[in-house]
Amino acid sequence: MNRIRENMKYISFRAGLFLGLTLAGLLILLFLPEPGGSAMQALLRRKGLLLVVVGLFLLAGYVFLIKPYRVLAGQSRRFTEGYLSLAELLESPVMYSPSSEKTLRHLEKLVGMTDAIDLSKRQAQYRALQNQINPHFLYNTLDGIRSEALLGGMDSLADMTEALATFFRYTISRTENLVTLEEELENCNTYFKIQQYRFGDRLRLEIVRDMEDWEELRTALLPKLTLQPVLENSIIHGTELRLGEGVTRIVLERTLHRLVIRVRDNGVGMEEEQLRELNRKLSQGLQEPDNSSHGKQGGVALANVNNRIRLIFGEEYGIHVYSMLGQGTEVEISIPYTVRKRGDQVL
């Protein structure tokens, strides 16, 4: 009985108005006083009124039935194509029938539970790994290797070990989610230094920034480990495969509301279709990165960074890739411009 009542409420909301308008129009026609004037004038007036009623009927039909249906169909399509999550679908301004809404809410609960279980499982795995590594043991060992190398006169080995220790310290030990751009760039430089031991002069890193804006840029906040995975991706899938010198440029810019970072390489680039597919996946976001694509274009690293940005700042931000076969690739990272104010909590 309750269900019938709920469904009646739903129907009355749209169709009630629709039927009401139609009935009102018909009533006007039925109880209209006999018009004066000639028979032709009366007929014309009645016809005119009939037209108005039909017009209102069509308009009401469009506003209360067709338009909501179109919105619902569009949102469902976006959901099935992966642009919308279940939560977003439920939040979007669509009128569901009460029973459909109930089903969707229940489904959301079930999905949420699975996600929470997955998340806690992954966190537990990560903690276990972190405990196994025992950072202090790792740093002490690396420091030991560095000292031995210095004593043995192997300066480059000492430098390399120092760079590796710095890199791990930043990656493993720092627990905050948001760091400054300056810190991220330092980590990139450290990572690049390690890669240079492998590639030598074949690799070059350029950081381009407007010195006028640098003071504002360097304190801008971004999720930790946003830049390094993108840089790694650019080296491994772009410049490493290229014959001759590989140049990676990091261009830093800010607009009124955004921090824009472009990581560009002069590597092998990618096919148009591959690029479309990658950008489509990044647009859809918040999906489990597909491990099978690893090794092709580094879809996992980019998807991870993109997902983190979108989770923190919203879907208007994230990563977009530009590329042409043989001409290199550019990864554009877009983040809202925020700085840590005095007294702000470390996230």
Smallest distance, another protein to C-beta of residue 257, A: 6
CB closer to another protein out of 142 and 222: 222
Instruction: Give the Å distances, CA to CA, from 52 to 32, 100, 194.
Output: 14, 36, 78
DSSP 264-275: EE-S----HHHH
CB closer to another protein out of 199 and 214: 214
CB closer to another protein out of 87 and 117: 87
**Which stretches of 12-97 are DSSP H helices?**
17-30, 39-61, 67-81, 86-91
Smallest distance, another protein to C-beta of residue 134, A: 43
Helix (H) or strand (E) holding 192, with range, is helix 181-199
Q: Which residue in this structure is represented by tokens 């007929």? A: 43
CB closer to another protein out of 182 and 316: 316
CB closer to another protein out of 257 and 341: 257
Smallest distance, another protein to C-beta of residue 74, A: 8
Find, among 202, 199, 253, 248, the residue nearest to 228 by Cα: 248
Smallest distance, another protein to C-beta of residue 132, A: 40
Rounded CA separation 297/295 (Å): 6
Q: What tokens appear for 95 in the block? A: 């009128």
Smallest distance, another protein to C-beta of residue 331, A: 11
Smallest distance, another protein to C-beta of residue 138, A: 40
Q: Which string of b and e fits 323-334 if b means at least 16 CB within 10 Å? A: beeeebbbbbbb
CB closer to another protein out of 61 and 336: 336
CB closer to another protein out of 163 and 302: 302
CB closer to another protein out of 276 and 296: 276
Smallest distance, another protein to C-beta of residue 196, A: 20
Rounded CA separation 185/34 (Å): 85
Task: Provide the binding-site residues for another protein, judged by CB under 8 A.
Answer: 74, 78, 83, 92, 213, 216, 247, 254-258, 260, 264, 266, 272, 275-276, 279-280, 282-283, 316, 320, 322-328, 330, 332, 334
Rounded CA separation 14/65 (Å): 7
Identify the bridge partners of residue 203 per DSSP, sorted by sequence position: 246
Rounded CA separation 161/181 (Å): 24
Torsion of CA 151, 153, 155, 161, to 10 degrees: -40
